[in-house]
Structure 1
Amino acid sequence: MSSLLFQENTLRTFTECIFKAIGCPEKDAVLAADVLLSSDLRGIDSHGVARLSGYVRLWEKQRINTNPNITIVHETATTATVDGDSGLGLVVAPFAMNLAMEKAEKYGSGWVSVRNSNHFGIAGYHAMQAVKKDMVGFAMTNASPLVAPTYTTERLLGTNPMCYAFPAGNYPPVVVDMATAAAANGKLEIAQRAQKPVPAGWVQTSAGESTIDPHALKTGGSLLPLGSDRDHGSHKGFGLSATVDILTAVLSGANYGPWVPPFVAFLDPLPDLPGKGIGHFVGAMRVDGFRPVDEFKQNMDRWIERFKAAKPISEDCPVIIPGEPELEAEKLRKANGIPLTEAVVKDLRALGEKLGCGL
């Protein structure tokens, strides 16, 4: 499927317009757009402006509060729980991350759990805020249940991404940003739009059989945990996903497991939800709480250099440091524009026409 190129500023202006049209204050619209554009710039097309219509549908069904009163409902010197008042996760998560960094500046580390929020974009955006302050950043979120734990066909967990971001000296930060499923649902959506199969090991049918059909979730199938199956370590992916679910939701009071609301619109909320909204967990640790920052950065540079110097299996495929592909994508897309598939452009233009925002 062919793509059209759009300059960053064009998409940023359009995205801000959409968020303001559904009632976001100016500063929140700018922040939410920044989170989405960071995803598109970094090459994570599944979590960028392609998600805009989903947020609007949720707002239309009154599942998103575009002018939330975000509050701290429990707090100690180094920890807190935040209630997002059903706000955009794109706004609620930065509030929580700023709180975590404020605590880290005072006490060395800060940890914040979040309830009553919504989809927060890419985890990397939030974790990388800490790097700017010479801190190690953490961010994770749970999500609607699409993943079947090892040995079952029942959807009980989300793709539940986690990110760890580490500052370096002469090199860009090391950013480990990943789903705990074999693939994010957004990658299936990309394959659907491109009318292409997905790799084996991403999804299974309702009977638990491996399939390459990108539409498998629509017929009762499920995503698989990181590792794909038990023989290839899916129990480890299941364990990581469970960890994210517990830290983000059981700890905060958000919905967890099969009760996490879907990223689609529905009129009536489920009557037996155990918590509020979806959950996030973010944290920040000051590097100088462990050793001088300059020493740490020197050793991070040495770490990066040694791994980059590792002998590759093929000269065409050198070792990739976590965060490198996203950084390369950002350089290219800032210079050349952000590619959007025709299907996404059609969807965005229809959305813009409806809300009075031109693209």
Structure 2
Amino acid sequence: MLISEQALRQFTYNIFLAIGCSEAHAHLSADVLLRSDMRGIDSHGVARLSGYVRLWEKGRINPKPNIRIVHQTPTTATVDGDAGLGLVVAPFAMQVAIGMAKTYGSGWVSVRNSNHFGIAGYHALMAVEQDMIGFAMTNASPLVAPTFSNERMLGTNPMCYAFPAGKYPPMVVDMATSAAANGKLEIAQRKGAPVPEGWLQDAQGNYTTDPHALKTGGSLLPLGSDREHGSHKGFGLSATVDILSAVLSGANYGPWVPPFVAFLDPPADPVGQGIGHFLGAMRVDGFRPVQDFKDSLDNWISRFKSAQTIDPEQKVIIPGEPELEAELDRRMNGIPLVDAVVKDLNELAVRFGVEGISPA
């Protein structure tokens, strides 16, 4: 089913209002989720809406948080999200980072006591709008086993770097540090399809293509899948995200990160508060004139786009291009939602007494 952006945005806003969010936070939360759907990252858009509602029902999300800075130097800060939606906590923290960068050239903020923050790209792109380079990362529910292990110790722990360009759109490197994001498993589950080999292992540590393997003790694999293909590098990247996001801020880290799914309780022996994020902004003109940088990045992009390919029918894809293409298409034609997501959303509509969704 295709749903118009505006209709889905209004629906999402209504649901966030219904769970007690302020108008400003409902607007912002809806914007973060819709940006994900518009950019073709269906795993982190409105398909996650019912998950936030379930966490709210469990008392694990505070719809009216007192988000505040609890530690600060001129260029660094720690933010406590007061168990709020990461969809509003992370933008608050990025605005703090941008404010410091405007004065001092860069700003770095570690966040504790937050929740799932949507796509990392949303937050990193906030800095790009100010002619800055943006950084955003977060730790997440422990679903990933480190190299040589079959114990879930880390999240998919995404990281994003966003760079302002000139004639080209911003270059956005937004990726999980696991072989695949958990949301892609959820998409496969809804479609009843297997996942590629190398994404998952079962409880015994054997490769599996069953998208439900996590429910039977399996785990996601780090980026690289196994030691011979560089999984130690994915493990190292994921560990870096976990340390910057949580060990630095005082959030829960590693296997103590509370799960996103509401039917699983957080660990009984937490080592911190909520989940953690890490956000940063650097002024381009702290290094060279902005236009000079943009011209050089345009030249970089042009040269890579023209790189000789093995198959003449293929082309080198610049990070961020697929998401931009999806956004242009969906703005014109609507956002595709699978039946399972439509059913899920309309059940929320009935429950909260708001208008349901229908085809564009």
Q: Same fold (TM over 0.5)?
A: yes
Matching of residue 309 in structure 1 with residue 306 in structure 2 = yes
SS at match of 1:96: helix
Pick the aligned partner of 1:263 from 235, 260, 265: 260
Taking the TM superposition and a 5 Å limit, the aligned residue runs for 1:90-239 are 90-239=87-236
> Given the superposition, is the C-alpha separation of residues 190 and 28 from structure 1 closer, same or farther in structure 2, using an over 3 Å criterion?
same
CA–CA separation in structure 1 for the residues paired with 2:63 and 2:215: 30
TM-superposition CA deviations, 1:217-248 (whole Å, max 9, x none): 01100000000000100000000000000000
Pick the aligned partner of 2:58 from 56, 61, 83: 61
**Partner amino acid for 1:289?**
G
Whether contact under 8 Å (2:36, 2:118) holds in the other structure is yes
Residue 318 of structure 1: aligned partner: 315
Q: In the TM superposition, what is the alpha-carbon distance from 1:358 to its structure 2 partner?
A: 1.4
Residue 28 of structure 1: aligned partner: 25
Name stretches of at least 5 consecutive residues in structure 2 with no aligned partner: none
Whether contact under 8 Å (1:61, 1:267) holds in the other structure is no
TM-superposition CA deviations, 1:333-352 (whole Å, max 9, x none): 00000000000000000011
SS at match of 2:56: helix
CA–CA separation in structure 2 for the residues paired with 1:240 and 1:248: 12
Farther off after superposition, 263-272 or 53-62: 263-272
Identity level (%): 74
Q: In the TM superposition, what is the alpha-carbon distance from 1:271 to its structure 2 partner?
A: 2.8
CA–CA separation in structure 1 for the residues paired with 2:263 and 2:346: 23
Residue 41 of structure 1: aligned partner: 38
SS at match of 1:353: helix
**Partner amino acid for 1:302?**
N
Aligned length, in residue pairs:
356
Q: In the TM superposition, what is the alpha-carbon distance from 1:266 to its structure 2 partner?
A: 4.8
Matching of residue 74 in structure 1 with residue 71 in structure 2 = yes
**Partner amino acid for 2:36?**
S
**Partner amino acid for 2:11?**
F
Taking the TM superposition and a 5 Å limit, the aligned residue runs for 1:343-358 are 343-358=340-355
CA–CA separation in structure 2 for the residues paired with 1:248 and 1:145: 14
**Partner amino acid for 1:225?**
P
Stretches (4+) displaced over 2 A? 266-271
**Partner amino acid for 2:90?**
A
**Partner amino acid for 2:153?**
L
TM-score (norm. length: structure 2): 0.98
**Partner amino acid for 2:170?**
P
Whether contact under 8 Å (2:108, 2:278) holds in the other structure is yes
TM-superposition CA deviations, 1:6-27 (whole Å, max 9, x none): 0000000000000000000000
Residue 330 of structure 1: aligned partner: 327
Q: In the TM superposition, what is the alpha-carbon distance from 1:315 to its structure 2 partner?
A: 1.8
> Given the superposition, is the C-alpha separation of residues 342 and 266 from structure 1 closer, same or farther in structure 2, using an over 3 Å criterion?
closer
CA–CA separation in structure 2 for the residues paired with 1:39 and 1:270: 29
Q: In the TM superposition, what is the alpha-carbon distance from 1:268 to its structure 2 partner?
A: 5.8
Whether contact under 8 Å (1:137, 1:165) holds in the other structure is yes
Whether contact under 8 Å (2:259, 2:266) holds in the other structure is no
CA–CA separation in structure 2 for the residues paired with 1:148 and 1:321: 30
Whether contact under 8 Å (1:155, 1:222) holds in the other structure is yes
**Partner amino acid for 1:307?**
F
Whether contact under 8 Å (1:127, 1:163) holds in the other structure is yes
SS at match of 2:179: coil
CA–CA separation in structure 2 for the residues paired with 1:255 and 1:267: 16
Residue 279 of structure 1: aligned partner: 276
Name stretches of at least 5 consecutive residues in structure 1 with no aligned partner: none
**Partner amino acid for 1:8?**
E
Matching of residue 83 in structure 1 with residue 80 in structure 2 = yes
Q: In the TM superposition, what is the alpha-carbon distance from 1:357 to its structure 2 partner?
A: 1.6
Whether contact under 8 Å (1:180, 1:240) holds in the other structure is yes
Q: In the TM superposition, what is the alpha-carbon distance from 1:316 to its structure 2 partner?
A: 1.9
CA RMSD for the aligned pairs? 0.8
Q: In the TM superposition, what is the alpha-carbon distance from 1:267 to its structure 2 partner?
A: 8.2
